[in-house]
Amino acid sequence: MGGPNAGVYTGVRLFDDNHYLLNRFWALPSTRRDTAVQLGEYLATAGLSYLVNLTLFKFCSSGLGLGIMWSAVLALPPSTLLVFLLLNYRVFQRGHGTAEE
C-alpha cells in the first residue's frame, strides 16, 4: 500500500488511536481492566458509526436527491449520537469489566 491510500490509512489510524486514548484516560475515564475487550468494543463502535454515517449519506444523496453538503449535514448527527451513547454507556462504562465484578 503506497501513495495517497497509505496517507489516508495512517491518518485514520492515528485519529482512532488518539480518540480511543483520549476517551479512555481523559474524557470518559474508565476503570475497566479488560482493555482488549474494551478496545474491540471501541473499534466496533467506530465501524458502526462509519456504517451509519455512510448509509445515511447515501440515502440522503441518492434516495432524497440532496446535495453533498446537506447529505453530510443530515448524516452526521445520528452517527454522533450513536457513538456518544455507546461510548458512554457501554465501552467506557465505569465498573464494567473491573476486578470487583
- Give the CA angle between residues 25, 88, 101 to the nearest 5°: 80
Q: Which domain holds residue 38?
A: 4-91
| 49 within some domain | yes
Task: Dump pLDDT digits (tens) for 23-56.
Answer: 888 888 888 888 889 889 999 998 999 899 999 9
Residue 40 lies in a domain: yes
User: Whole-angstrom Cα distance, residue 80 to residue 57?
Assistant: 13
Residue 42: count of CB within 10 angstroms of its CB: 21
Q: Are 54 and 72 in contact (CB under 8 A)?
A: no
Is this prediction's pTM over 0.85?
A: no
Q: Which of the four pLDDT bands, split at 50, 70 and 90, describes residue 72? A: very high
In a domain, 99, yes or no: no
> Is 100 a domain residue?
no
Tell me whether residue 61 is in a domain. Answer: yes
How many domains are contained in the chain? 1
Site of grid cell 486514548: 21
